[in-house]
Chain A
Amino acid sequence: MKISRLLAPIICSVLIALAGANAFAKPTVALKLAGVILEKDASGKVTPVPVDSTPAKPGESIRYTITASNTSGEIAKKFVPTGRIPSGTQYEPGSSTIAAPGHIEFSLDNGKTWSEKPMARVKQPDGSMAMKPADPATYTNIRWISGKDLAAHASASYTYVVLVK
Chain B
Amino acid sequence: MKNRAYSAGLLALLLFVGIAPAYATQTPAGTTISNTATASYTDSNGNALTATSNTVSTVVQNAPTLTATNGGNQNVAPNTNATDTFTLTNTGNNAGDFQISSPTLSGGSSSLTSYTVTLPTGSTYNGSNSTTNGATAPTTPQTFTSLAALNTFLGSVNVPSQSAATVAVNYAVGNTAAATTITDTLPATITYAAAGTAPAATSATTTSTETDTVQNDARLDIRKTSSQNPTTGNITYTVAINNGGAFTAHYVQALEQNSFGFGLATTTGTPGGILIVDKVPTFGSPTAVPLALTATPTVTFTRGTNGFPNDASETAAVYCTTAATPASGWSTSCPTTGAVTYVGVLISGGSLANSATGGDGLLPNASGSQATGGTSPSGPIVTAPAVTLSFTIVQPTGTGAGTAGSVTNVADSIFTNNNATPQVVGPAGSTTDGNTAAAATALLPDIENTTANGSGGAPGASGQTSNAALASYAVLVGPSGFPAATGDALSSGTADNNHDFTDWSFTDPSATPTTTSTTPGATVTGNSTSQAESMCVPETLQNAGNLQDSAISLSVTAPTSPAGWTAQLESNSGCTSALNGASAGSTSSTATAITLASGSSMTFYVKYTAPAGTPAFTAEQAVITATGSPNGATANTNTTYNELYNGFIALVKQQTVISSGCPTGVTVTTICPGGVLGYSITVENLAKGATGTGVNEPASALLTNSTAGIVVVDDGTSGTNWFAPIGTTGTYVTSGVNAVPTLTIGGTANTASVCTYSYGNPAAGPTTTFTAPVYTSPYSNGPSKLSCVLGGAAGSAYQLPAGSNTAATWMVFSFNVTVRAN
A51-82 CB mask vs B (1 if < 8 Å, else 0) is 11011111100101010100000111111111
Contact with B along A117-151 (1 / 0, CB 8 A): 00000110100000000010100000000000110
Task: Check A108 for interface membership: any CB of B closer than 8 A.
Answer: no
Bound Cα distance from A87 to B60, whole angstroms:
11
- Chain B residues contacting A164 (CB-CB under 8 Å) are 27, 33, 60
Beta-carbon contact of A125 and B16 below 8 Å: yes
* A58 with B93: CB separation less than 8 A: yes
Contact yes or no, A32 B40, CB < 8 A? no
Asked if B26 and A78 make an inter-chain contact with CB atoms under 8 angstroms apart, the answer reads no
Interface presence of B198 (CB below 8 A): yes
Residue from B28, B33, B53, B93 in contact with A31 in the complex, judged by beta carbons closer than 8 Å: B53
Q: B48's closest neighbor in chain A, by CB?
A: A78
Q: Which chain B residue has the least Cβ–Cβ distance from A54?
A: B58
Chain A residues in 8 Å Cβ range of B3: none
Q: Which residues of B contact A88 (CB under 8 A)?
A: 27-28, 31, 33, 60
Q: Which of B17-25, B68-76, B322-330, B502-510 contacts A (4 or more CB under 8 A)?
A: B17-25
Q: How many angstroms from the CA of A46 to the CA of B27 in the assembled complex?
A: 22
Cross-chain contact A30 with B47 (CB below 8 angstroms): no
Q: Which residue of A lies closest to B35 (CB)?
A: A86
A86 touches B34 (CB 8 A): yes
Instruction: Tell me, yes or no, whether B39 is within 8 Å of chain A by CB.
Output: yes
Inter-subunit contact A37/B58 (CB<8 Å): yes
Determine whether the beta carbon of A74 is less than 8 Å from that of B37: no
A103 within 8 A of B: no
Nearest CB in chain B: distance from A49 CB, A? 10
Q: Of A55, A122, A137, A165, which contacts B58 at CB under 8 A? A: A55
The answer to whether B413 has its CB under 8 Å from any CB of chain A is no
Interface size class of chain A, counting residues whose CB lies under 8 Å from the partner chain: 35 or more
Chain A residues near B44: list those with CB within 8 A: 25, 27, 74-75, 77
Chain B residues in 8 Å Cβ range of A82: 37-40
**Are B53's CB and A52's CB within 8 A?**
no
Whether B41 and A29, one on each chain, are in contact in the complex, defined by CB atoms closer than 8 angstroms, is yes
Q: Are A32 and B53 in contact (CB under 8 A)?
A: yes
Interface string of A86-128 (1 = CB under 8 A from B): 1111000000000000000000000000000000001101000
- Give bound CA distance, A77 to B57, whole Å: 30
The answer to the question of B52 belonging to the interface, with a C-beta cut-off of 8 Å to chain A, is yes
Question: Considering only CB atoms, which chain A residue lies closest to B38 in the complex?
Answer: A82
Nearest-Cβ distance from residue B808 to partner chain A, whole angstroms: 118
Q: How many Å lie between the Cα of A32 and that of B51 in the bound state?
A: 10
Compute how far the CA of A149 lies from the CA of B36 in the bound complex, rounded to whole angstroms. Answer: 22
Q: Which residues of A contact B198 (CB under 8 A)?
A: 55
Inter-chain CA distance A71–B555, complex, in Å, is: 144
Q: Is B54 part of the binding interface, using a Cβ–Cβ cutoff of 8 Å? A: yes
Closest chain B residue to A35, Cβ basis? B56
A residues near B43, Cβ cutoff 8 Å: 25-27, 74, 76-77
Are A78 and B42 touching (Cβ within 8 A)?
Answer: yes
A128 CB, nearest partner CB in chain B, Å: 13
Q: Point out the residue from B16, B25, B54, B60 that lies within 8 Å of A56, measured CB to CB.
A: B60
Partner among A57, A79, A83 whose Cβ is within 8 Å of the Cβ of B37: A83
Question: CB-CB < 8 A to A26: which residues of B?
Answer: 43, 47, 49
Query: Nearest chain-B residue to A87 (Cβ)?
Result: B33
Asked whether B41 lies within 8 Å of A150 as measured between CB atoms, the reply is: yes
Residue B63 CB within 8 A of the other chain: yes
Is B266 at the interface (CB under 8 A from chain A)? no
Closest residue of chain B to A81, judged by CB? Answer: B39
Q: How far, in Å, is B248 (CB) from chain A's closest CB?
A: 38
CA–CA, A55 to B197, complex, Å?
10
A105 to chain B, nearest CB (A): 13
Q: Which residues of A contact B55 (CB under 8 A)?
A: 33
Q: Is A34 an interface residue (CB 8 A)?
A: yes
Report the Cα distance A51→B61, complex, angstroms. Answer: 12
A33 touches B20 (CB 8 A): no
Contact of B37 with A55 in the complex, beta carbons under 8 Å: no
Given known A27-B49, A31-B51, A33-B53, contact A81–B60 (CB-CB < 8 A)? no
Residues in B whose Cβ lies below 8 Å from that of A89 = 27, 33
Give A26's nearest chain B residue, CB to CB: B43
Contacts of B35 in A (CB 8 A): 33, 35, 64, 83-84, 86
Query: Judging by beta carbons under 8 Å apart, are A59 and B41 in contact?
Result: no
Given A64-B56, A66-B53, A89-B33: A57 and B39 interface contact (C-beta under 8 Å) = no
Tell me if B364 is interfacial: C-beta within 8 Å of chain A: no
A58–B26 CB distance below 8 A: yes
Is A51 in contact with B52, judged by CB distance below 8 angstroms?
Answer: no
| Interface core residue of A34, A37, A87, A165 (most chain B CB under 10 Å) | A165
CB distance from B52 to the nearest CB of A (A): 6
The residue in chain A whose Cβ has the minimal distance to the Cβ of B45 is A25
Q: Are B57 and A57 touching (Cβ within 8 A)?
A: no
Contact A76 B58 (CB under 8 A): no
- Asked if B380 is an interface residue, CB under 8 A from chain A, the answer is no
How far does the Cβ of B206 sit from chain A's closest Cβ, in whole Å? 16
Bound together, the chains give a CA A27 to CA B41 distance in angstroms of 9
B774: interface (CB < 8 Å): no
- Can you sample 7 A-B contacts with CB below 8 Å? A26-B47, A56-B61, A57-B63, A62-B33, A68-B51, A80-B40, A89-B33
The 8 closest A-B pairs by CB, nearest first: A88-B27, A31-B53, A33-B53, A76-B41, A51-B58, A55-B61, A35-B56, A79-B41
Further pairs besides A52-B58, A83-B37: 20, Cβ < 8 Å:
A29-B41, A31-B39, A31-B52, A33-B55, A33-B56, A55-B60, A56-B60, A57-B63, A58-B26, A59-B63, A64-B37, A66-B37, A79-B41, A82-B37, A86-B33, A87-B33, A122-B18, A123-B18, A135-B19, A164-B60
* Residue ranges of B at the interface with A (Cβ–Cβ < 8 Å): 16-20, 25-28, 31, 33-47, 49, 51-61, 63, 92-93, 197-198
